[in-house]
Chains A and B, each alone.
Chain A
Amino acid sequence: MIPNMWEKVFAISSVAFLVAMALWIWEEMMPEWRFYQKKFKSMAMELAATLEEKDEIRSEGLKVRQIVMERLNRVDRCTTCHLGAEDAKYANLPLPFKYCPLTETHLPKKFGCSLCHGGEGSGIETKTAHGEGSRTHSPRLKGEYLQASCGKCHLEEYLYAAPLLLVGKRLYEHYGCGDCHKLYRRGRRAGPDLEKIASKRIDEFEWGKDRGEKSFVRWIFLHFKNPKEFQEDSKMTDYRMSEENAKALTVYMLSLTDERYPSDYYRGRKDEEHVQ
């Protein structure tokens, strides 16, 4: 038979319909985390010593994992890919399977991951979970900038593991930022308030004509290096800071969020009592 116009269209449409549904099914069957979980399984099997351990690893299904923190109204699904984070056995694995040593003292059940690391914990794709993209309000802190999160709950006695944060706090006083910025009932209001600066949305910062990567760290760091970077009519003094100083101050700024937790989360710092 030679199909006429309608029959040809019908044939093509039917196949297109099938192709469309096949695309969707394929996407559902191949989520990103499945790949990571399989990889971790093979790595963990190699590291497993006893048969019992091997058995347990093998019997783990491939599924999304989450930590529900009801008191904080948060869900963290980071452990879907970051599978070795809670077990010291995996301290030598490469990222993302590496062990997080802070889970010894900060139980994942209570703190989750995103409280310290930032990002959007409820996501199950890398891009969403890591808080990338222009509409994020929670940047993922990398490297030394991770120290900023310690400042969310801890006062100075506990910040021995966050030296850059301590330096940043001192520099805040040293440069006299309070002369123009208000922070915790101290300071004047010539520039924006800094109390919840790290909880602003990324597009709430003044980007001016800048077309580069939109990230918190970048904005704050470059702002310290050159206050007129993004805003030519900025009245802020250029302190000609060194890279290290700018970094330290950035870390301090990143610790100033609007997140508040139940009182047992804080050590050396009560809810509203911010003693400098």
Chain B
Amino acid sequence: MERIKNLLKRSRLLYEDLQTFLSPHRGTKGFYLHSLLSLFRQGFKRLKIVLSEGGKKIFIKIAASGAFLLSMRDRFPKMLPALKSGELRRRWASEVRLLIPNIWKSIFRHPFPVTEKDQVRISLNNFFLHLHPPRVKRHGLKFTYTFGLGGLSLLLFIIETVTGGFLMLYYIPSTEKAYSSYKDMLFTASFARLMQNLHHWAGHGMIVAVFLHMYRVFYTGAYKRPREFNWVVGVFLFVFTLALSYTGYLLPWDQLAFWAITVGSEIAEAAPFIGEQVKFSLLGGDMVGQGALIRFYVLHVFILPLIAGVLVAIHFWRIRKDGGISGPPLASPGEDKKKEETVPSFPNLVNRELTFAVASSAAFLLLSYFLNAPLEELANPNKVPNPAKAPWYFTGLQEMVSWGAPSIGGIILPGLIVLSLLFLPYLDRDPRGVGIWFARERRPVILMFTVVFGYLIVVTIIGSLFRGENWSLVLPWGGG
């Protein structure tokens, strides 16, 4: 008895499930199947209508042309035996059978490269792989040499572009709607939290990656001849990365955004001679308002990515032209030795790049799952948070500005640092020490760099963590 009752209950549930499965209501399981089926139904309906009216005429035409062709069969004796013998049929059948392989071969013209000769060739024949040189130095593949930081920067740039593009579909760059469209996105769109968080953390991550990449290139002496200009392009890319992050920072239009940009624009105003003009053109006015928002938006989604993209392309081009990843000079310049120290970039480089990309993406996806992008309340020009801080990468500047003479701490000093970075490869002409970390011959310049950037890091840490209300010194964990 129990069994029968159970069976009845289960069949009833199944029946109910089936009903919802085919339900036409958005939100039920069967919605997509139902839409598909109804598309077919509509198609048949329309076909019926078309046929019923013009169908008769079409059928007559088809019948007439068929009859005409049949009457002409005596004129084409050659074709008829082929049809009768089945040769044509066999030919067509083989074409159908070979359809998939033909499609595959038209895309992938060469077989999967297994021999070394093929592996080298594919870097020349494949569009995506032609960015790589056919062979790379074994030394450059070592993870502990480059730590994949340049590649990480590129990956994060791509992630930012893709997530940014998606976010643009819901975000509205108006002071009235920016905050609410940002918040509402979380309620109205699936995976909005993923897009927002990933965009936020990949953005910060990119600044860290680009910065560490610069560190790596410096400490391995990879800016020396012939790579000076590539270093210069890299410095510009660094500045553009900061600019991209800064312009994006304003877009949520919350208290954090509004006041960070206000502080930043005040620092910009401290530039000697041109400060006021720079601030005025950045903000489209004297205050952070709708003008600033739309300018920052356009800079962030269009102008800066475009220029940065071109710079990235030049940066990659120069890597190839300058002889690939830097490394210590070859043991002996003989032909055979050279072959020993290089390997085909497919698959060795490609595999490493792929692995690293997957690992980093997984890490950022997991990070975005557990940590939300911070959002404070709606921007309020009448309420100044205390303390009002610039974004973390500028808090160092803010700290220096707080010591007095804002133009020195905020503009001149950082400006000098950027200038000295730009001129570094032209001032340090000693060709020794390329390709190894902390080369002994480069001690003095390494010391200078470490001191200057160590100072910047310390000052940034103080500004971010150790400054509280009214910019007084506090302990980051409360009390003070």
Chain A residues with CB under 8 Å of chain B are 6, 9-10, 12-14, 16-17, 19-21, 23-24, 27-28, 58-64, 75, 77, 122-124, 135, 137, 201, 204
Contacts and interface: CB of A to CB of B under 8 A. Distances in A.
A19 to B, nearest CB: 8
Interface string B353-387: 01100110111011001000000110000010000
B187 A64 contact: yes
A61 B28 contact: yes
B355 A10 contact: yes
A224 to B, nearest CB: 26
B191 interface: yes
Nearest to A28: B190
B245 interface: no
B376 A135 contact: yes
Contacts of A12: 359
B194 interface: yes
Contact of B20 (A10, A16, A58, A75): A58
Nearest to B183: A122
Contacts of A58: 16, 19-20
B450 interface: no
B184 interface: yes
A189 B194 CA distance: 49
B358 A62 contact: no
A59 B25 contact: yes
Contacts of B190: 28
29 contacts: A10-B351, A12-B359, A13-B355, A13-B358, A13-B362, A17-B361, A19-B366, A20-B362, A20-B366, A21-B365, A23-B366, A24-B191, A24-B194, A24-B369, A27-B193, A28-B191, A58-B16, A58-B19, A58-B20, A59-B25, A59-B28, A61-B25, A61-B26, A75-B184, A77-B187, A122-B183, A123-B187, A135-B377, A204-B383
A30 to B, nearest CB: 12
Given A61-B25, A123-B187, A17 B365 contact: yes
A131 to B, nearest CB: 12
B27 interface: yes
A217 B439 CA distance: 65
B23 interface: yes
B201 interface: no
> What 8 pairs across the A-B complex have the smallest Cβ distances?
A61-B27, A63-B27, A20-B365, A13-B359, A61-B25, A16-B362, A17-B362, A10-B355
B31 A24 contact: no
Interface in B16-57: 16, 19-20, 23, 25-28, 31
Given A6-B352, A24-B365, A61-B27, 8 more contacts: A16-B359, A17-B365, A20-B362, A20-B366, A23-B366, A27-B193, A59-B28, A62-B27
A9 B26 contact: no
A17 B187 contact: no
Contacts of B365: 17, 20-21, 24
B470 to A, nearest CB: 17
B355 A6 contact: yes
A10 B354 contact: yes
B23 A9 contact: no
A13 B353 CA distance: 12
A135 to B, nearest CB: 5
B359 A9 contact: yes
A28 B193 CA distance: 10
Contacts of A60: 25
A244 to B, nearest CB: 34
Given A24-B194, A122-B183, A14 B25 contact: no
Interface in B174-195: 183-184, 187-188, 190-191, 193-194
B26 A63 contact: yes
Given A20-B366, A201-B377, A59 B23 contact: yes
Contacts of B355: 6, 9-10, 13
A75 B183 CA distance: 13
A1 to B, nearest CB: 15
A20 B352 contact: no
Contacts of B352: 6
B196 to A, nearest CB: 12
A124 B26 contact: no
Contacts of A10: 351, 354-355, 358
B152 to A, nearest CB: 13
Contact of B23 (A61, A64, A75, A77): A61
Candidate in A13, A64, A201 with the most chain B CB atoms within 10 angstroms: A13
A39 to B, nearest CB: 16
Contacts of B383: 204
Nearest to B361: A17
Contacts of A9: 355, 359
Contacts of B183: 122
Nearest to A123: B187
B184 A122 contact: yes
Contacts of A59: 20, 23, 25, 28
A78 to B, nearest CB: 12
A124 B366 contact: no
Nearest to B364: A20
Candidate in B27, B184, B383 with the most chain A CB atoms within 10 angstroms: B27
Nearest to A20: B365
Contacts of B351: 6, 10
A19 B358 CA distance: 12
Contacts of A28: 190-191
Interface in B132-147: none
A141 B451 CA distance: 57
Contacts of B377: 135, 137, 201
